[in-house]
Amino acid sequence: MQATGIIVEYNPLHLGHLHHIKQTRKTTEADCIIAVMSGPFLQRGEPAIIDKWERTKTALEASVDLVVELPHLFAVQHGDYFSKGAVETLANLHVSSICFGSEQGTIEPFLTAHKTWEDKRDSFDSILTSFLEKGNSYPESSRLAYEAIGISEIDLSRPNNILGYSYVKAINRYAPSITPETITRVESDYHDETIEGTIASATSIRKNLHKYGEITKKASETLPTFTSKALQAYRDEKQVWHSLEIYFPLIQHLLWTSSPEELRMIQGVDEGLEHRLLKAIDVSSSFHDLMHTVKTKRYTWTRLQRLFIHLLTNIKKTDSRLLEKPVSYVRVLGMNDRGREYLSQHKKDFEVPVVTQLKQLEDPLFTLDLKAQKAYLYPLSGENRVDSYRREKMPPVFY
């Protein structure tokens, strides 16, 4: 059996994702589609709207065959580390190819661009540094630096092209035997804030859900029925859809009881940011307040959100060393018969433990996954918190 990997968050899984899965199966003719999915917290520094177990179910409903968890430490990082974690996880499962959605829609320009970058790497790095020093954000500086070294075959200001390009870089560096492939992303721009039509960005769908506290007609038209059901069931059972706002009392407490020295140990608290945070928190009544008080051109929204996730999950700067090491396990969240068959066929060849039960693993990277999962449960009521944590110790979802 041959497998193709996809890299997903499914926050929540919408009709655009469904299209991506169908197209991937068609294009790659893979026997097995393996999704590496972020767990409790996501790349742009947010808690997932519903937990990873419910999102795993939607992935399996959408005909993904095997869902595995992207280790938390890699899940909440800028594109390069995020891609490293995702690609290495899929490589650990011996996928033949990775297929991502992009605005570009064809793989050749990605490969050419990567070749150009490799040839001009030194000058790229110094150009990037100079843009950063001028006070540009990291994404903006990268875009300008790519332009400056003459990458013209692909628009690296489009969000899915940027992400796809970082997958290609990671594949080249960490798992060159994997073939990168891409399909045209039909989802609307993920920066879109309002729902337009049935193919909407996950961001706009979440905004709509949080705003109305229910699944509006507009939102439901963008979602497969099983996603709407999963969202509703989670809300009915746990009384919540997660957003950073509901973690605010905790964020305020942590900032209020930490010394500047302690804050400086948290990943992302750099350049004296701890003082800015400690000043802002005294006058903030909500997460929204806090972000608007702290944000500047230099400290982008995403960078700050990631920092707050690191604070919530107690991820230290010293944990960063694990980002440089290879991903050392695969945590299975769910599978169907095909996924199970794939695992049993390849089991003997895997170089790292493929974990289906919590107790099977002692690994510092995995300890952080558990910590993140526990931190995620904060907004739930007492009983729900303990029950949900118990879920963590149970076998994967079978579908």
Contact residues toward a second copy (CB under 8 A) are 248-250, 252-253, 256-258, 262, 282-286, 312-314, 371, 374-375, 378, 382-383, 385-386, 389
Name every residue whose Cβ is closer than 8 Å to that of residue 183 and which is 6 or more positions away in sequence: 20, 23, 24, 27, 99, 100, 101, 102, 105
Give the residue with the Cβ less far from a second copy, 23 or 367: 367
94 assigned ligand-binding residue: no
27, 99 in Cβ contact below 8 A? yes
Cα gap 113→100, rounded to integer Å: 16
> For the chain, give me the number of helices (H) and strands (E)?
20, 8
CB of 70 to a second copy, least distance (A): 20
Judged by beta carbon, residue 29 or residue 261, the one nearer a second copy is 261
Q: Tell me if residue 180 falls in helix, strand or coil.
A: strand
Q: Give the per-residue SS3 of 295-310.
A: CCCCCCHHHHHHHHHH
Confirm or deny that 10 is annotated as ligand binding: yes
Nearer to a second copy, 5 or 71 (CB): 71
Nearer to a second copy, 186 or 250 (CB): 250
Distance CA 62, CA 43 (A): 22
Radius of gyration for the chain, computed over Cα atoms and rounded to the nearest angstrom: 20
Q: Is 310 annotated as a binding residue?
A: no
- Residue 183's DSSP bridge partners are 101
7 is in an annotated binding site: yes
Alpha carbon distance 320, 365 (integer Å): 10
First to last CA, the chain: 19
Rank residues 88 and 319 by Cβ distance to a second copy and give the closer one. 319
Nearest to 71 by CA among 63, 80, 81: 81
The tokens 């879920």 sit on which residue?
Answer: 391
Q: For a second copy, which is the closer residue by CB, 138 or 389? A: 389
Determine the length of the chain.
399
8 annotated as a binding-site residue: yes
Q: Is 19 annotated as a binding-site member? A: yes
Q: 11 a known binding residue?
A: yes
Q: Which CB atom, from 386 or from 394, has the smaller least distance to a second copy?
A: 386
Structure tokens at 331: 């945590």
Known binding residue 18? Answer is yes
Listed in sequence order, the DSSP H helices in 241-351 are 248-257, 260-264, 273-281, 287-294, 301-313, 321-324, 337-346
Least distance in angstroms from the C-beta of 382 to a second copy: 4
Q: Is 5 annotated as a binding residue?
A: no
121-133 vs 108-119: helix crossing angle, rounded to 10: 90
Annotated binding-site residue numbers? 7-20, 101, 160, 185
Annotated binding-site residue numbers for ATP? 7-20, 101, 160, 185
